Amino acid sequence: MALLCISSKVRHSMLLVGVALMLGMHLSAASLDDDIEIRWGASHTYFFMDGDTESLALSLDDEQGGSCFRSKEMFVYGTISMGIKLVEGNSAGVVATAYTISEGPWSYHDEIDLEFLGNLTGEPITLHTNIFVNGVGGREQQFYLPFDPTADYHTYTIEWNPKYILIRVDGKAIRAFKNYEQYGVPFPTWQQQRLYGSLWDADEWATQGGRIKTDWSEAPFVAYYRNYTFTWCQPSPGVSWCGAEPKDSTRFDLDQKTLGELWWASQQYRIYDYCSDHKRFNESDFPKECSLQRQGL
């Protein structure tokens, strides 16, 4: 579960300038400010020009509990994408996130998580995904990425429609969570969500189960975000909005290309799937969607 961003008073300090100068970057006003707002850690958060692209840096050190932003707009069904460049070097214990979450009572919140679990220099960073519906998560899948996510920006996408939640990396699908509501499996269909992004210390669990702790001598840790886009879900012609799409519509069915990408990701990059965890679940205890998937439904 991603760290919930808690609002704090906007602060400006010399540390902001010091981090930016140390990294050889120049502060700049950015149009990202039209779409997102800083929730906490403003003294560790800054906009800058990365070439011709306006970007946002989130920073973490041992005196500040990281930093966080959120989208100004809320939505039900849509596609969110963001370019992210992760913390370089020894990032063990550090977690960068991009996730959507509803803002009603926590006991039945909905959430779609992308969490990047830091690691020792040269070791792979894990993309940890999870989905919460009505306050219940436990639907984790984890992936190694087929590139160094600290060397450059890559695009991470959450696509949410009435039939599927799809997670894509650089446009290619790596995970799909199907709507099995007709079989009694909860699916997020009614609570508005926002995009959040954060950088925080989670060394009690993030790296090798918490065995590797954050090395604060490596601080500040910095992750970069840019190219935030949001597009509303588009229903079939003549349908008012995606939530009104007829149940028998094929509008959001997965095409062969997407199915092929999902199979490839499961074979090459996925390192954990809750539906295959026989240590965690007895055969009769697996979540219902797991058995439905096995049946090809």
Show which residues are catalytic. Answer: 111, 115
Report the sign of the C-alpha dihedral through residues 91, 4, 73, 142, in that order. positive
Round the CA-based radius of gyration of the chain to a whole number and report it.
19
Closest-CA residue to 41 (of 18, 13, 80, 20)? 13
Strand order across the beta sheet in which 270-273 lies? 36-40, 67-71, 194-201, 94-101, 111-117, 126-132, 141-144, 270-273
How far apart are alpha carbons 224 and 296 in whole angstroms?
Answer: 39
Helices and strands (H and E) in the chain: how many:
3, 15
Q: Which residues pair with 99 in a beta bridge?
A: 113, 196
How far apart are alpha carbons 70 and 68 in whole angstroms?
Answer: 7
Closest-CA residue to 126 (of 158, 97, 164)? 97
How far apart are alpha carbons 2 and 5 in whole angstroms?
Answer: 9
Tokens of 145: 């990425």
How far apart are alpha carbons 239 and 260 in whole angstroms?
Answer: 29
H helix intervals, 101-255: none
Tokens of 32: 């990202």
